[in-house]
Amino acid sequence: MLVTGKEILVPAREGKYGVPAFNTNNMEITQAIIHTAEKLEAPVMVQMSEGAIKYGGQDLANIVKDMAQRAKIPVALHLDHGSSYESALKAIAMGFTSVMIDASHHDFEENIRETKRVVEAAHAMGISVEAELGRLGGIEEHVIVDEKDAFLTDPEEAVQFIEQTGTDYLAIAIGTSHGAYKGKGRPFIDHERIEKIASMTTIPLVAHGSSGVPKEITDRFRTAGGEIGEAAGIADEDLTRAVQHGIAKVNVDTDLRLAASVGVREAFMSNPKEFDPRKWMGPARDVMSEIVAHKLKVLGAAGKASMQAMK
């Protein structure tokens, strides 16, 4: 069933488990996410970036919505890193049930103003909102943050921000970063910061940049002819600990990108004569499904769908 983000994330924060939010860009990615979550009886979030909207538009949004409506688990369709009020409203008009307004690159007051506008409009239509406070290292689609300029979320500011904006969940900067090369020269996750922020707030907290970049996948990528440098991601233990302390939404894109590329590369390597798209998109979907299953188990979302549906 298609539900709002709040319906999925509030029980997750209360129940101390995490729900992964996977980025999608096509049918096979969406199937890997939703069908695997169904198999494991887990709630799940499917998110589209503004880039995904540019790429797949209403066609892709409809694929997600239709698959979600027919699924026996709660699924939310979420806008990832919405860059403006207009972008958030456009996503709502397209049928999204959850939107992110990422005004974290503005100063504190401007972030509050922009977030509040989106919250008021979205809530009037029954749609949930994610906002972001603090800055992640690495590359975001709309802003390149130098590692030294990245700053972690201040707990007191988080409390003020939540009170003043009414956001439903909040992305906090806790040491993770987007992409396949995470956490150079410092510990990945500031667990004490998560605990502090969680102890002062009640809404679900969101971790961006949470791909694991598993060695097994990067090894397979290289063996199949891919080139990748010293890639690193967030350890499973860090995620398990983070969700016990208040992180309820865990964003994952890079792992599915790597998995899809491994599936395609291996398929072409083992059969260079192949040109039936199903013979290389299918394997990509299979490798992505393994990643989705792993994350659902690590975060404790597996088996939680029925409890959510009863609420």
Ligand X SMILES: O=C[C@H](O)COP(=O)(O)O
**DSSP letter string over 141-204?**
SS-EE-GGG--PPPHHHHHHHHHHH--SEEEE-SS-BSSSB--TTS-S--HHHHHHHHHH--S-
Q: Which of 179, 246, 263, 283 binds ligand 13P (CB under 6 A)?
A: 179
Calpha distance 311→304 (Å, rounded): 11
Assess 252 for contact with ligand 13P (CB under 6 A): yes
Q: Which of 80, 86, 129, 133 is closest to 105 using CA atoms?
A: 133
Which part of the chain contacts ligand X (CB under 6 A), choosing from 45-53, 64-72, 84-92, 103-111?
45-53
7 is annotated as contributing to ligand binding? no
Which part of the chain contacts Zn ion (CB under 5 A), choosing from 87-95, 137-145, 223-231, 274-282?
137-145
Active site residue 80: yes
Task: Report which secondary-structure segment, H or E, holds 79.
Answer: strand 75-82
Q: Which of 4, 24, 30, 49 binds ligand X (CB under 6 A)?
A: 49
CB nearer to Zn ion: give 169 or 280: 169
Using only the alpha carbons of the chain, give its radius of gyration. 18
Among 66, 80, 255, 286, the active-site one is 80
Task: Spell out the residues 6+ positions from residue 137 whose beta carbon is closer than 8 angstroms to its own.
Answer: 145, 146, 147, 150, 177, 183
66 is annotated as contributing to ligand binding? no
Shortest Å distance, C-beta 49 to ligand X: 3
Considering CB under 6 A, how many residues would be counted as binding ligand 13P? 14
Assess 153 for contact with ligand 13P (CB under 6 A): no
User: How many CA atoms lie within 13 Å of 2's alpha carbon, on the beta-carbon side?
Assistant: 20
Which part of the chain contacts ligand 13P (CB under 6 A), choosing from 71-79, 127-135, 249-257, 275-283?
249-257
Restricted to residues 135-154, the positions that interact with ligand X (CB under 6 A) are: 140-141
> CA-CA distances (angstroms) from residue 192 to 95, 154, 244?
37, 12, 12
Q: Which residues of this protein are in contact with ligand X, per CB under 6 A?
A: 23, 49, 51-52, 80-81, 140-141, 178, 253
Question: Active-site residues: which are they?
Answer: 80
Q: Which residues of this protein are in contact with Zn ion, per CB under 5 A?
A: 102, 104, 132, 140, 208
